[in-house]
Structure 1
Amino acid sequence: MSSDPRRPSDRTYRHVERLIAGVFRLLGLRITVHGSQHLPASGPAVIACNHTGFLDFTFVGYAARERGRIVRFMSKFSTFENPLSGRLMRAMRHIPVDRWSGAIAYRQARRLLDEGEIVGVFPEATISRSWLVKRLKPGAAGMAITRSAPLVPAIVWGSHRILTVDGRRSLRRGKAITILLGEPLHPADGETIPALTERLHAAMTALLGQALDSYPDAPRSDADRWWLPHDRGGTAPEPALAAALDRAALERINQPFD
């Protein structure tokens, strides 16, 4: 069952979509979408996307519009605590994820799949500072298996050049954004969650390679090579160092106040 745009929650979603599209135009973004046909025109699906910037979800939603679909994203609980963003997120039926009670979020996600919705997941859980695909959490594969839903791998490349971790942000106009949706992965009979998660990781890694190969922009200077992975001539940290930086950032967040 596809989403009904007459519902109040979907009207809010459409209004926000138009607002975001307007912001994209103001920024002069050159957005390219490939593979939107891999999203089912109706019925449930799980989209699993890489995570390099704070705006990734807006670009996945942008790509889904080409199929007339909307995506209910699993998002950090802190996003829902803000009075403005929280009200909008709930109106759009996104899913709050509390680190300490994640099972509640997955139950909500499975209910949405049962209703024929598309659920968006960032299975790396946190932004990848290496810009490469990190080890994936098993939730996306688990939902696909338990609900016999297609699992669509996705890559957004370029959004981290606008807004990402460590205070990196830029409103310079005209950046390129590449969005790739891959062929859906259908759980095989008896396939385990780890096995499907491994297939998902391979598919996302391959899509990222395609995005990097086709990306039209290049660094303007040596100082601008920060947004490229280490194996593509960039200065982003290698995965092991990036993982250590992730752990350090998490420890800072979890430090108690004096």
Structure 2
Amino acid sequence: MARAREKGGPWVALAAAVFYPLTWLLAKRRMEGLEHVPAEGPALLVCNHVSYLDPVYTAVFVHRARRVPRFLAKASLWKVPLFGRVLRGSRQIPVTRGSADAGASLEAARASFDDGGVVVIYPEGTITRDEAGWPMAARSGAARLALQREGVPVVPLVHWGTLSVYDHYRRRFRPSWRTTITVRAGAPIPMDDLRARVAQAEPGRERSAEVSALREATDRMMTAVRDLLADVRGEPAPVRAHGERGTGR
């Protein structure tokens, strides 16, 4: 029996009407691992980020899994005419960094989990600056979300090929059917032991346990993302992410 489609409303339908044809026009499209997106209930998708085209393909991927994505995205996008209206109407989550409202995005994401929603986050916070397109060091927001809700699967998802079509740093846009854009999800990343570590921390050691768990959760997520991307690319991933200590950069 086919899984039922989660209702997204008219703004999600409008976005789908634009995004689906766009993903076919820009390049060949390959989407794998749809079964790893839960048919119902909350989930956190953690993704690599190589191009500003990635969210278009992420959105189509999640929609093809018959779910509605809730992206954490830069708050400045809400100021773009019409696009901001689509973001509001489809219940996306604005992220305002460096302000008193910075934590509001995580609270909104947790509220989406309570509603059984699929939240999408790019842990790096922006498109990678690694010259070979590998993920950079991640921020802590994804790990905080992963650890603060029991029963929420954390699913790695990667894109490859979008950078060949649109490279923001080199100001290069080259749509071509000779290019294949692959989006692939992997099996959920184990997090229950880390959640238990934080919950069972001895009095006075809660903060230390949380910091340790956040660090390990971030490492697990980005390792899973790098390994999945390496499999898609057919080449070994670097031992360390761009921006991590020991990279020499």
Asked if 1:173 is matched to 2:176, the reply is yes
Asked if 1:103 is matched to 2:103, the reply is yes
Instruction: State the alpha-carbon separation in 2 of the partners of residues 71 and 230 from structure 1.
Output: 28
8 Å CA contact retained: 1:53, 1:160: yes
Q: Which residue of structure 2 aligns with residue 220 of structure 1?
A: none
Q: CA deviation at 1:4?
A: 4.7
SS in 2 for 1:108: helix
Q: CA deviation at 1:3?
A: 7.7
Q: CA deviation at 1:208?
A: 1.1
Asked if 1:114 is matched to 2:117, the reply is no
Asked if 1:134 is matched to 2:136, the reply is yes
Q: Which residue of structure 1 aligns with residue 189 of structure 2?
A: 185
Instruction: State the alpha-carbon separation in 2 of the partners of residues 172 and 33 from structure 1.
Output: 18
Instruction: State the alpha-carbon separation in 2 of the partners of residues 147 and 196 from structure 1.
Output: 13
Task: State how 1:1-258 maps to structure 2 within 5 Å.
Answer: 4-5=6-7, 10-27=9-26, 29-100=27-98, 101-130=101-130, 131-148=133-150, 149-174=152-177, 175-189=179-193, 190-191=196-197, 192-213=213-234, 239=242
**Cα distance, 1:15–1:196 mapped onto 2, change above 3 Å:** same
Q: CA deviation at 1:166?
A: 2.1
Q: Which residue of structure 1 aligns with residue 210 of structure 2?
A: none
Figure out how many residues of one structure are paired with residues of the other and give that number. Answer: 217
* RMSD after superposition: 2.4
CA deviation profile, 1:46-74 (whole Å, cap 9, x unmatched): 00100110011111111112320111000
Instruction: State the alpha-carbon separation in 1 of the partners of residues 163 and 225 from structure 2.
Output: 17
CA deviation profile, 1:87-106 (whole Å, cap 9, x unmatched): 11111111110112320111
Instruction: State the alpha-carbon separation in 2 of the partners of residues 208 and 26 from structure 1.
Output: 23
Instruction: State the alpha-carbon separation in 2 of the partners of residues 62 and 129 from structure 1.
Output: 25
Instruction: State the alpha-carbon separation in 1 of the partners of residues 140 and 41 from structure 2.
Output: 22
Structure 1 stretches of at least 4 aligned residues deviating more than 6 Å after TM superposition: none
Q: Which moved more, 1:137-146 or 1:204-213?
A: 137-146
Letter in structure 2 aligned against 1:194? R
CA deviation profile, 1:184-225 (whole Å, cap 9, x unmatched): 1132232422211111111011011011118xxxxxxxxxxx
**Cα distance, 1:67–1:81 mapped onto 2, change above 3 Å:** same
Instruction: State the alpha-carbon separation in 2 of the partners of residues 172 and 197 from structure 1.
Output: 33
CA deviation profile, 1:3-46 (whole Å, cap 9, x unmatched): 852xxx6221122112111122333x211112111110000000
- For structure 1, the residue ranges without an aligned partner over 5 or more in a row are 215-228, 232-237, 241-245, 247-258
Instruction: State the alpha-carbon separation in 2 of the partners of residues 37 and 70 from structure 1.
Output: 15
Q: CA deviation at 1:85?
A: 1.3
Q: TM-score, normalised by structure 1?
A: 0.77
Instruction: State the alpha-carbon separation in 2 of the partners of residues 49 and 187 from structure 1.
Output: 17
Instruction: State the alpha-carbon separation in 2 of the partners of residues 47 and 135 from structure 1.
Output: 17
**Higher-helix-fraction structure:** 1
8 Å CA contact retained: 1:123, 1:136: yes
8 Å CA contact retained: 1:4, 1:10: no
Percent identity, aligned pairs only, is: 29
Instruction: State the alpha-carbon separation in 1 of the partners of residues 192 and 25 from structure 2.
Output: 44
Instruction: State the alpha-carbon separation in 2 of the partners of residues 24 and 66 from structure 1.
Output: 13
Letter in structure 2 aligned against 1:102? A
Q: CA deviation at 1:180?
A: 1.3
- For structure 2, the residue ranges without an aligned partner over 5 or more in a row are 198-212, 244-248
**Cα distance, 1:230–1:113 mapped onto 2, change above 3 Å:** closer
8 Å CA contact retained: 1:45, 1:144: no
